[in-house]
Structure 1
């Protein structure tokens, strides 16, 4: 993928997103009505948005080759997000959901900042653990809604799109402007720290 003139601007906007973020739970008043609303939900919860894009960024920046290295972490996150959401819909309760979501931003931000490479299964497992908590939060918000399945499908589709956006940005910056994703990673990590501080 070739670097375009707009790519650095997109990366800078990504880095600034956490500065205008809201907390995850209840950001949309827990009103979900089908696929479109489900698709838009992760885009209005900036902590979820930042986590999704960070997973894609990290994957692209640390991949040894495009296939299949780019897919391990995003696939692990998407699968475990779905598993967590289904568990939440079923009434499963986990402790420290919000602190774990905040911690996911801290860890993912640091991974983007340092561009630390992990073995494929380790990368998928690491992000998958955090994805369960993101999924539980979404599932609990959807519990009891008649359109829960379609809303969840929309959320999962948005997650894949956000992973793709992160991958596209990261892949285009692999050989130039590498400070831009590092700046984005630092911003996501600081956002995680701020959320953790607010929960203390």
Structure 2
């Protein structure tokens, strides 16, 4: 570890260990985390739990400091297409994965999606960055919410429609993948 990095890592680790000894506040019981709370509870949850608040702000700060770092991520477009193919097939098959497997799969594909969007951001557009990213985050959250809602609606009554939609997503992904390679 370089002396400069060590100068920052050691105090950060000490602070993390100090706070880590107490409850992370990511679980029921902290303000804004109630089942009946609805939208307001959902908005307040990440703002009132120190773990969410600090982790998300820290990721944002670190991302801004590093930028893309000049690192090229190969095969971003084919991997984005593959994500549609894979998730479509998972839906069509109503596949069950262990939680860690699903999280790993989502995270791996998110890396490629995020990289592609980061490289598409217009050069010299830092002035609009907060509003662009804010709008992007809101739209993404709404799309995730719509998908979760559709999944809950289709699960008990219209499983065949969920499977059919999965086939459609997989076919679209396969078409993009064929065009990308």
TM-score range, shorter chain: 0.5 to 0.7
Alignment of 1:31-180 (within 5 A): 89-142=68-121, 143-146=123-126, 147-180=128-161
Please name the residue that 1:181 is paired with: 162
Structure with the bigger RCO (C-alpha within 8 Å, sep 6+) is 1
Deviation at 1:149, TM superposition (A): 3.2
Flag the structure with larger Rg.
Answer: 2
If the length of structure 2 is used for normalisation, what is the TM-score? 0.60
If the length of structure 1 is used for normalisation, what is the TM-score? 0.54
Give the SS at the match of 1:173. Answer: helix
In the aligned structure 2, how far is the partner of 1:176 from the partner of 1:166? 16
Residue segments in structure 1 that go unaligned for 5+ positions in a row: 1-65, 67-78
State the number of aligned residues: 120
Q: Provide, for residues 111-170 of structure 1, a one-character-per-residue CA deviation record: whole Å limited to 9, x for no partner.
A: 111111112122111111001111111111115322223312221221111111011011
Counterpart contact for 1:106–1:189, Cα < 8 Å? yes
What's the C-alpha RMSD, in Å, of the aligned pairs? 2.4
In the aligned structure 2, how far is the partner of 1:94 from the partner of 1:164? 29
